[in-house]
Amino acid sequence: MRPGAATVGTVHAAALLLGLAGLADTLWHGIAQPGNALAFGTLIALGELARPGAHPEAGTSPAPAGPRGSAPAPLAAAGALAYALLGDAAGAATTHGVLQIVAVVCAGGLAGIVPHIARGRGPDLDQLARQVLTVGFAALCFQPLYNSGAVTGHLGTGAAHTLFLLLVLGLTGLCDAVLAALLLRARTAYPYGPLLRDELRALLGIGSAVCATGVVMALGVSAAGLWALPVLAVPLLLTQVSHRRYAAVRTVNRQTIASLARATEIAGCTPPGHARRVAALSTAVGRELGLGGAELTLLEYAALMHDIGQLSLVDPVPGGATARLPAEEQRRIALLGGEVVRMTGVPPAVARIVERQADPYREQPRAARIVRAVNAYDDLAGEDAAAALDALELLRLGTARDYHPEVVACLARVLARGGAPGVTSVPTG
């Protein structure tokens, strides 16, 4: 069994059992206030229908499949949260409970993903499990207290009530981030801390808009009834469109950099696939070392363009293997590469990483240490599985000056787990 499969299976099983319990309880006792259930279920279904078929930020990075493997459905998430936090509807108290909320979320979500399945775009089971569990958590935090009268009795319906809803949403966002990082950890074996940090940082983006819209929807329906739902959904839809356009721009930038990186292959300076393999493996090692967010993006860009200085050479390097060159020649090529990168318009930090990849590791930034070690490994091993162990041993022997010991150790661990897509792994037996 793949490491972490038990964790993924447990999370999926918990979501499935909760969903089945909600559906069974609702079918047995009937739907309380079916108008509210239908309105929110329809909103959730429409939100799932509006979900793009692929994550707009997917690029050359070896991002593992998982919670961020497909695009989010902000409208569906906001509708589900709003239903979980709904106390009154047009001034009348609601009577739906936690299990009915889960049932409506499951039914609306399933209805919304059917067209995607028909087009061959299967659902992301991790995201479905997270949505069921986090909405169930939010409902469990709010509904029992509301139904017992504790919320309105102690907090009233003013600012204190709104602050309580925001507190519940904060706990729900934390729950979702913990689950997302747990699933990614189970699927990739990357360190849990940086994964959780990335998930929490993501809450400040579209996640904050989802949470705010959920609260506003719950308060709007409480005051004005169900007519508030379509009105309040419009700002989130506009935010979603803007987010997707921004993500599309980032995707184009990544694809442009990947195309520039292939120039060395087209010119015959480096072997086919070298830049892609170095970028994939560098990103995996960076995650192993605890990098995340913007640091990983800069590392990926620098790894893709690390050999671009070879385009300025009169005599090409045999096989493009700069790791076999004298230190001074490696340094010269790195500086040439930094100059080229600065003319491409990418962030200046990428050029600094590229031009410092040949420095002694004690003087290098962490990203440059990673690129140097991974480039040397691919220069020595390439796609030859038989040479992988020898290449790794040469890197270990070079830890006195050229390669940082911690980077080499992380590289060995990544390779032992199977490496990254398209990268030669180290045989284990």
Taking only the tens place, the pLDDT of each residue in 68-114 is 444 568 888 999 999 999 888 877 888 888 999 999 999 998 898 88
Closest CA to 403 of 364, 350, 429: 364
d(CA 393, CA 390): 5
Backbone angles phi, psi at 88, to 5 degrees: -120, 155
Which residues, in sequence order, are bridge partners of residue 273?
none
Which residues, in sequence order, are bridge partners of residue 325?
none
173 vs 293 pLDDT, higher one: 173
Exposed, middle or buried by CB within 10 Å (0-12, 13-18, 19+), for 192?
Answer: middle
What digits encode the pLDDT tens for the residues 362-420? 888 999 999 999 999 998 887 666 678 888 888 888 888 889 999 999 999 888 877 66
d(CA 269, CA 313): 9
Backbone angles phi, psi at 379, to 5 degrees: -60, -40
| CA dist list (Å): 408 to 28, 154, 346 | 59, 58, 28
What digits encode the pLDDT tens for the residues 132-168? 999 999 999 998 888 877 777 676 667 787 788 888 8
Closest CA to 214 of 105, 319, 111: 105
Exposed, middle or buried by CB within 10 Å (0-12, 13-18, 19+), for 106?
Answer: buried
Say if residues 187 and 8 touch (Cβ distance below 8 Å).
yes
Residues 6 or more apart whose Cβ sits within 8 Å of residue 360: 401, 402
Structure tokens at 252: 């184009």
CA atoms within 13 A on the CB side of 117: 9
Question: What's the chain's Rg over C-alpha atoms?
Answer: 26
d(CA 295, CA 168): 31
**CB neighbour burial string for 295-327, b if at least 16 within 10 angstroms, e if fewer:** bbbbbbbbbbbbbbbbbeeeeebeebbbbebee
d(CA 83, CA 104): 9
> Is the pLDDT reported for residue 422 higher than 60?
no
Chain position carrying tokens 């609306």: 108
> Between vectors from CA 346 to CA 343 and to CA 352, what angle results, nearest 5°?
80
Structure tokens at 113: 């993903």
pLDDT recorded at residue 278: 92
> Is the pLDDT reported for residue 211 higher than 90?
no
Structure tokens at 225: 């009834």
d(CA 425, CA 416): 6
pLDDT recorded at residue 314: 75
Which residues, in sequence order, are bridge partners of residue 93?
88
Which residues, in sequence order, are bridge partners of residue 89?
92
> Is the pLDDT reported for residue 4 higher than 80?
no
Residues 6 or more apart whose Cβ sits within 8 Å of residue 409: none
pTM, full prediction: 0.76
Share of the chain above pLDDT 70, in %: 89
pLDDT recorded at residue 387: 77
| CA dist list (Å): 367 to 197, 299, 304, 327, 364 | 19, 6, 12, 19, 8
Structure tokens at 91: 């001034």
> Between vectors from CA 309 to CA 304 and to CA 312, what angle results, nearest 5°?
140
Element (H, E) at 260: helix 228-261
Element (H, E) at 92: strand 92-93
What digits encode the pLDDT tens for the residues 261-281? 888 888 888 888 888 999 999
